[in-house]
Each structure stands twice: as C-alpha cells, then as structure tokens.
Amino acid sequence: MKPPAQTPGTGLDQGSGAFHCADGPVGGGPGPAASLARVEAPLTVNGTAHRLPLEDRALLLDVLRDRLRLTGAKRSCDVQVCGACTVLVGGEPVSSCCFLAHDAIGREVCTIEGYAAQESFAAVAEAFSRHNAFQCGYCAPGFLMTLKPLLERGALRSRADVEREFAGNLCRCTGYRAILDAICDLAGIAP
C-alpha cells in the first residue's frame, strides 16, 4: 500500500523546465522558481549517493526524471491514482508524483532502473514476457516497483491478494488478466 499523499506540487513542479534545472531557470531571466529556496541535499538512488540543490517543494518524480535522468518512473495522472510513477523509498512503494524529494533524504530510493539491474529481476522479466503481460509498457515500471517488496516479503498468497495490492496500478492497454497472471505465477499462486 502506498502512504498517504504528500503535498501536491504547483504547476511549476509539474513539467516546467525552468523549475528543474539545477543551476537556475532555463531560458534566462529570473522566473518564479528563482525565488524558491534551495538547499544542498543528499539523496541516495539505486545505491548511488548524490548531492543536489533541492527546492523545498521539489517532487521526487521530477528530481529522478529531470535531474538524475532516471526516466523509468512515469508521469500520468499526477494525482496519486495510476501508480505509473511508483518507486521505492526506504523499501516502500510511493507515488513519486506526489512525494516530496526532501522526504526521501536519508532513505534509499530504488527505481525500476535499480531493480532491473538486480539479479532477481531476470525471473520477473521472464514471467511478464511469457504471459505477454504488457503492451505499450507505460504502466510496467509502476507495476514492477509495487511488486518488488510484495514478492520479497512473500505477501501475495492468493489472487485476491494480488488484485487488492495492485488496485492502485492502472493500465490503459490490457485487460489486466495477463499482468495478474504473471504476478500470480511469480508468487507461486495457482491459476
């Protein structure tokens, strides 16, 4: 389950290049972002320690995608409904579109790029491929990052568990059946 929503960002948080540049607004001129406070903050992502100037209201998804170029986590609904932006913070799934980057300080952040580099990911990728689970794949990082801790804890014991735990991950292409089949397969749940 994802934690409650963090303070939603402003329009500036959501896609303005001016807001995301580490060294100042893009395109010249003192935009509104110039007045926002920034503090140098340590952020550990996929095992790599970074020090980034972070605005108070910077959202984790923006920092990952625009500052660290980790574009696996996707923006879709932007309001903590679809799960496309799911990453792990301290081992727990969060909707990074609504999660303040400052709240990740001191906690390990894991994205799909980090998960995909782990040895255990090969079996996950194989199962999803075998079930033809995804079509466009836009939702895939969110499903997979939701899945990681559930598999590691052995928390999925029935199809009902799977349906409940993934109710917050939306897919626009498939009928969900193949995705849930792949997850059940990985969790050792009989069809």
Distance, in Å, from the CA atom of 68 to the CA atom of 161, rounded to the nearest integer, reads: 34
Nearest distance in Å: CB 28, ligand FES = 30
Amino acid at position 134, single letter: F
Distance, in Å, from the CA atom of 68 to the CA atom of 50, rounded to the nearest integer, reads: 9
Nearest distance in Å: CB 30, ligand FES = 30
Nearest distance in Å: CB 98, ligand FES = 6
Nearer of residues 7 and 48 to ligand FES, judged by Cβ: 7
CA angle at residue 2 from 66 to 84, to 5 degrees? 45
User: 147: which residues sit within 8 A by CB, 6+ positions away?
Assistant: 124, 166, 183, 186
Nearer of residues 2 and 38 to ligand FES, judged by Cβ: 2
Nearer of residues 38 and 176 to ligand FES, judged by Cβ: 176
Binding site for ligand FES (CB under 6 A): 75-78, 80-85, 95, 97, 134-139, 171-174
Beta-strand pair 48-55/38-45? antiparallel
Nearest distance in Å: CB 27, ligand FES = 26
Amino acid at position 64, single letter: L
Nearer of residues 52 and 82 to ligand FES, judged by Cβ: 82
